[in-house]
């Protein structure tokens, strides 16, 4: 079962930072996940939220704020801003990079950077239109569908997504075997227990027993330690 570092090693490092992504890769994560959004002046950034409020206290919408303004606001809060260009130029991430493409449809300025990097990235999409955009240059098994509801899984599989992301709390309704009965895909689970995406050893064991192919979680250190113990007992 693959272990994917959600926003990098986000418990021990600043989320979505190069330090966080490099650290997770060096620890042995099978992939590192991060989010892509555009600034007002069309610079693709590694950033999760639609506004700067959570990380800076300023309720500025990212899409209405220039790259320079965003960088300065984050710097004032002691945080770095990473661009997609920075990320793809980073030599020390020796693992797959799952990009959660937040803008929909995907802007050309993002697509232009993704095409040459297709061999080392996974594209995470949230709509069938965005799926069609990346399928023009990505193999299906490198495309993950961040489906918004389990009822939409079948549509994404029919349109060519090779990996389906389910939330952990959906598993009472739809399990990995149910997804694989629809088509030949991998199923990755987003950890979610009591409002936390950190994950736990108990949860990892349960997801492994259910046949999950991958798990996204914040506590990649714990997950890799669980894997070592798990391997010793099998």
Q: At 4, is the pLDDT very low, low, confident or very high (cuts 50, 70, 90)?
A: very high
State whether the Cα torsion 29-35-39-43 is positive or negative. Answer: positive
pLDDT value of residue 111: 98
- Residue 165 included in any domain: yes
pLDDT of residue 185: 99
Q: How confident is the model at residue 231 (pLDDT cuts 50, 70, 90)?
A: confident
* Residue 219 within a domain: yes
Count the domains in the chain. 1
Q: Is residue 44 part of a domain?
A: no
What digits encode the pLDDT tens for the residues 14-59?
999 999 999 999 999 999 999 999 999 999 999 999 999 999 999 9
Q: Residue 169: inside a domain, yes or no?
A: yes
Q: Is residue 81 part of a domain?
A: no
**Hey, what long-range contacts does 119-128 have (CB within 8 A, 24 or more apart)?**
120/96, 121/88, 121/96, 121/97, 122/31, 122/96, 122/97, 122/98, 122/163, 123/99, 124/33, 124/98, 124/99, 124/100, 124/165, 125/101, 125/161, 126/101, 126/102, 128/155, 128/156, 128/159
For the chain, what is the HEC assignment? CEEEEECCCCCCCCCCCHHHHHHHHHHCCCEEEEEEEECCCCCEEECCCCECHHHHCCCCEHHHCCHHHHHHHHHHCCCCCCEHHHHHHCCCCCCEEEEEECCCCCCHHHHHHHHHHCCCEEEEECCHHHHHHHHCCCCHHHEEECCCCHHHHHHHHHCCCCEEEEEHHHCCCCCHHHHHCCCCCEEEEECCECCECCCCHHHHHHHHHHCCCEEEECCHHHHHHHHHHHHHCC
In a domain, 185, yes or no: yes
Q: Give the mean pLDDT of the chain.
A: 97
Mean pLDDT of 219-233: 93
Residue 217 has pLDDT above 80, yes or no: yes
Mean pLDDT of 114-129: 97
- pLDDT bin (cut points 50, 70, 90) of residue 232 is confident
* Pair type for strands 214-217 and 186-190: parallel
Tens of pLDDT, residue by residue over 155-185, are 999 999 999 999 999 999 999 999 999 999 9
CATH of the domain at 218: 3.20.20.190
Give the range of the structural domain holding residue 104, as residue numbers without chain letter: 2-31+95-232
Is position 72 within any domain? Answer: no
**Is residue 20 a part of any domain in this protein?**
yes
């Amino acid at each position: 079962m693959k272990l994917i570092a959600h926003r990098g090693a986000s418990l021990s490092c600043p989320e979505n930072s190069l330090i966080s992504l490099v650290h997770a890769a060096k620890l042995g994560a099978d992939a590192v996940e991060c989010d892509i959004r555009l600034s007002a002046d069309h610079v693709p950034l590694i950033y999760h939220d639609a506004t700067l409020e959570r990380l800076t206290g300023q309720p500025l919408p990212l899409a209405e704020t220039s790259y320079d303004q965003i960088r300065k606001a984050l710097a004032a809060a002691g945080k770095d801003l990473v661009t997609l260009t920075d990320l793809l130029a980073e030599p020390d991430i020796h693992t797959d990079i799952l990009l959660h493409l937040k803008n929909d449809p995907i802007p050309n300025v993002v697509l232009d950077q993704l095409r040459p990097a297709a061999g080392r990235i996974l594209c995470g999409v949230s709509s069938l239109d965005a799926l069609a955009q990346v399928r023009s240059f990505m193999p299906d098994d490198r495309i993950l569908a961040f489906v918004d509801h389990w009822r939409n899984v079948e549509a994404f599989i029919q349109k060519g997504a090779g990996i389906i992301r389910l939330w952990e709390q959906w598993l009472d309704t739809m399990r990995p075997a149910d997804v694989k009965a629809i088509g030949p895909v991998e199923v990755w689970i987003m950890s979610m227990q009591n409002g936390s995406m950190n994950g736990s050893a108990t949860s990892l064991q349960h997801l492994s027993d259910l046949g999950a192919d991958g798990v996204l979680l914040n506590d990649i250190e714990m997950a890799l330690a669980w894997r070592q113990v798990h391997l010793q007992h099998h």
